[in-house]
Structures are given as structure tokens and as C-alpha cells.
Amino acid sequence: MEWLDEYEKLVIRMNTPRVVIDNAVCPTATLVQVDSSRKTRVLLEAVQVLADLDLSINKAYISSDGRWFMDVFHVTDRLGRKLTGDSVIAYIEQSLGTWNGPARPAALEGLTALELTGADRTGLISEVFAVLADMDCSVVEARAWTHRGRLGCLVFLRDEEADTERMARIEARLSHLLRGGDSTSAGGLSGAVAAVPAAAVTHAERRLHQLMSADRDQERAASPTSAVSVQSWAERGYSVVTVQCRDRPKLLFDVVCTLTDMDYVVFHGTIDTTGDQAHQEFYIRHADGSPIRSEAERQRVSQCLQDAIERRSLEVANPI
């Protein structure tokens, strides 16, 4: 019925995120406030937009009351200044003010993504690109991280000639190359390569986290560079995650990305940066509403967050 269609449109308009960007409240940072009804992964989408613009989040307040949430971010540019560019402000308002989330880069449309994991060794990246050049592959963009002796890499190829048979040959050669590392020092894990449509990679850095987590880089022992604790707040049914470490760009994105991909929901949180030190606290539950219940799960969350924080410091390649 027509009146039902109009009602649905009204509900959508009422629930569309409201974005307020204020330069007057704080003397040292721009406030970005997002209010909306709760949607899955909405916090990650907001943090992703700010991280992709290379903005620093100095403070943040995350609050959720049932079906409604409010996030407030104190942000500056890479030089520590308030945001003044109209184009940046308009992009934030447009990206956060819809339910569509951050837009995928148009440059990646119609490409093929190669996802590689394997034992890291000197010269491996050069060997990967030598194979691609030998097979006349046109590389548009690539990103790679190493962590605890393992490599995670994304390579975006133009796929005008990326038929199934040709991609199978590319995967076979790269798989053989990735198996050539020292499997003993890498925990006995072999390499892997997969070709997927670039559209399936919703966010390159988030996908790198997922690849390296699935590769179980956290199983190799190392001295942590961050303090992560997971405590229980049984009276309110929350688990409390606390992160203390040296501040750096995209730190909040890496933490929120990891919690989201582990199927936890952040209901409340505070982020505070003093000097070069960051303190983050999150009140989380599983997607089904339950808190963390076992010591093994607490240790797993702590280890995965430590790994996510460390990987960024070992990023070895920028977009090409």
C-alpha cells in the first residue's frame, strides 16, 4: 500500500545518521559527532572513514543505549591542526551521514585481487613481483605487512585478460614461491594464494588483518609492545577491554577492526591520548549479547589485539 511506502521512507529519514562537525567547542581539535540508531559495524565504518583520511583521533567517547548510539571523536590532521578544508568536512559528512558506509575506491572497480600469505624472508616481495612481471600482469596497487616471520600481501591486478586458466597458472607459480620459505622457523605453516574480485575486498587494511589473523601469526611467541587486559563486569553483563600503548596513526581503527571481526560489539568506550601514550577502554559483548566467559577466550582476545597493534608498525609497503 502507498501509505506503507511513505511510512517506511519516514522511518529511514528518522534513522539516517546525523553528523555534526564542530570547530568551536574544543580549542585544539575538531569534534565529529555521529548519532543514529544502531547498525551492525557502524562504529567500525565511522573510524574507518577518519582513518582513511589520515586523521588523528586524540579522544573519543562511544555510547550506546539499546537501539541508539552516539560517537564523539576529537580529530586533527597529520600536523595536529583542526580540520578546515571544506572538501574533507564534506566527505566526512557524506560518508557518515548515510547507511551506505564508506565508498569503495573507484580505481579498484573491475580489478582482481591476489591475497597472499606465507613465511617471510629476504627478497620475497621482489620475487613475487618478478613472477607477476614475467606473466605480464599489470599491477595497479599493492600492500604488504610482515609480522613475526609471516607475510600478508594484497596485489590488485587489471583483469582484462584474467581468465580462469591464466589465473590458475599465476596462483600455481606464486603458491610454489610462497612454499619456498623456511617452514620450520615459521611454525610449519605453508604459504597460500587466492584470486578474488577486488569488489570482495571491502577494505585493504582490514583484509590484511584478517589474512594474518587466519594465518595464525599470533601463535608465535614474542614480547608484547602493548598492554591489553580483558576483565569482567558481571553486574552489567559486559567484558571490559583496556589497551595501553604508544599512540600512532590508525591505532583505534586496528583495535575496533579486530573486535568487530571477532564478532564483538562495542557498547561504550573512551579513548584518551596524552603525549605519545594512548589509553583505550571498551565495554563489549558478543553479537548475541553475552560477555566473555572463559579465561581461554580472554587470553585469545588479548593476544589478537596485541597482534593487531603490532602489525601496523611493521607495514612494509605503501600503495603503489
Spacing of C-alpha 205 from chain mean position: 5
> Over the range 13-46, which residues count as b (16 or more CB within 10 Å of their CB) and which as e?
eeeebebebeeeeeeebbbbbbebeeeeebbbbb
Query: φ, ψ for residue 301 (rounded to 5)?
Result: -60, -45
- 284 and 235 in a common domain: yes
- 111 and 92 in a common domain: no
Would 29 be classed as within a structural domain? yes
Greatest C-alpha distance within the chain: 67
Digit-coded pLDDT (tens) for 206-241: 999 999 998 775 555 555 656 899 999 989 999 999
Would 211 be classed as within a structural domain? no
pLDDT at 101 over 70: no
Would 214 be classed as within a structural domain? no
Would 31 be classed as within a structural domain? yes
Would 53 be classed as within a structural domain? yes
**Structural domain for 51, as ranges:** 2-96
- 124 and 51 in a common domain: no
Would 68 be classed as within a structural domain? yes
How sure is the predictor about 37, in pLDDT bands with cuts at 50, 70 and 90? confident
Distance (Å) of CA 60 to CA 56, 57, 101, 265, 270: 11, 7, 20, 17, 6
- 70 and 19 in a common domain: yes
Per the structure, the count of domains in the chain is: 3
| Last-in-domain residue among 166, 201, 236 | 201
| CATH code for the domain in which residue 252 is found | 3.30.70.260
Count of residues in the chain: 320
pLDDT at 3 over 70: no
Q: What pLDDT score was predicted for residue 10?
A: 47
DSSP 181: S
Q: What pLDDT score was predicted for residue 225?
A: 59
Would 140 be classed as within a structural domain? yes
- 306 and 232 in a common domain: yes
- 58 and 86 in a common domain: yes
- 252 and 276 in a common domain: yes
Residue 68: strand pairing partners: 37, 65
